[in-house]
Amino acid sequence: MPILEVKDLKKKFENTQVLKGIDFELEKGQTISIIGSSGSGKTTLLRCLNFLETADEGTISVNGKIIFDGRNPVTDPKELRKMRLHFGLVFQQFNLFPQYTALENVTLAPLLGAEAADKDAIIEHGKELLNQMGLSDRMSNYPHQLSGGQQQRVAIARALALKPDILCFDEPTSALDPELTGEVLKVIRGLADKKTTMIIVTHEMAFARDVADTAIFMDDGIILEQGPARDLIDNPKKERTKQFLSSLSK
């Protein structure tokens, strides 16, 4: 059984249909890379999966259970928070809290409402995650004292701290210069090696080809082509996919 099943997901903003019926599945321990030009619907898809936007139609199922049905969407804030826990989202712009240290940023959400007996374990887990990100000497630093690459690694640790079923990345290196991009991609590659279940929206084609199991090419709100990542990126079948990939190499 796939860990994630998305069926006929649609989303409109005013008169613009941004998602026109998205269907895909993701197996536990696998990585999907989503590629496509700006405006193709990639970020909207991620935001619908994370319930930052509410899709108009379709279903989202995790571990065989429907958690979203467009015919009867959940509106209760408590239920929405519960459903968001299935997904961890790493944004383009880090979105760290400037007034908190790296460790505080990572542990803030898990500590909310936690039993007193669990708090030490949560803090230890936060330290382990930052160590895993190569930031063991930066736990007490505030965001302004960290490079962009370090901030993004804190953001990845923060997403992992809630132990999501699926980790989502929205262009995780787009706000970084080339020198810092490599350190973030190395962390994500390590997560893939550990069979972390991930969805990665990215413009790094070599990374998408080498790290992902499956690639999805989105165009104008639909999935135009999908398949094994290396096959799709090296030998696309659809003319529009070929045009997109060719435009990146110019």
CATH of domain 1-73+193-250: 3.40.50.300
Q: How many CB atoms lie within 10 A of CB 81?
A: 10
DSSP structure class, residue 40: S
Q: What is the pLDDT of residue 75?
A: 83
State pLDDT tens for residues 82-97. Answer: 889 999 999 888 899 9
Whole-angstrom distance, CA of residue 117 vs CA of residue 13: 45
Q: Is 54 exposed, middle or buried (0-12, 13-18, 19+ CB in 10 A)?
A: middle
Residue 250: which pLDDT band, with cuts at 50, 70 and 90?
low
pTM score: 0.93
Q: Render 168-195 in DSSP notation, one character per residue.
A: EEESTTTTS-HHHHHHHHHHHHHHHHTT
Structure tokens at 81: 């928070």
Query: Across residues 203-217, what is the average pLDDT?
Result: 93
Instruction: List the chain domain ranges.
Output: 1-73+193-250
Structure tokens at 183: 């350190």
Residue 114: which pLDDT band, with cuts at 50, 70 and 90?
confident
Structure tokens at 206: 């070599």
Query: Across residues 221-246, what is the average pLDDT?
Result: 95
pLDDT above 90 for 23: yes
Higher pLDDT, 41 or 175: 41
Mean pLDDT lowest for which of 5-9, 109-113, 166-170? 109-113
**Side chain identity, residue 177:** D
Residue 64: which pLDDT band, with cuts at 50, 70 and 90?
very high
Q: What is the pLDDT of residue 116?
A: 77
Q: What is the pLDDT of residue 32?
A: 97
Q: Are 215 and 226 in contact (CB under 8 A)?
A: yes
State pLDDT tens for residues 156-189. Answer: 999 999 999 999 999 999 888 888 899 999 999 9
**Side chain identity, residue 94:** F
Q: Which residues pair with 90 in a beta bridge?
A: 169
Whole-angstrom distance, CA of residue 162 vs CA of residue 233: 32
Q: What is the pLDDT of residue 209?
A: 92
User: Shortest CA distance to 207 belongs to which of 169, 154, 150, 167?
Assistant: 169
Residue 212: which pLDDT band, with cuts at 50, 70 and 90?
very high
DSSP structure class, residue 133: T
> What is the pLDDT of the chain when averaged over all its residues?
93
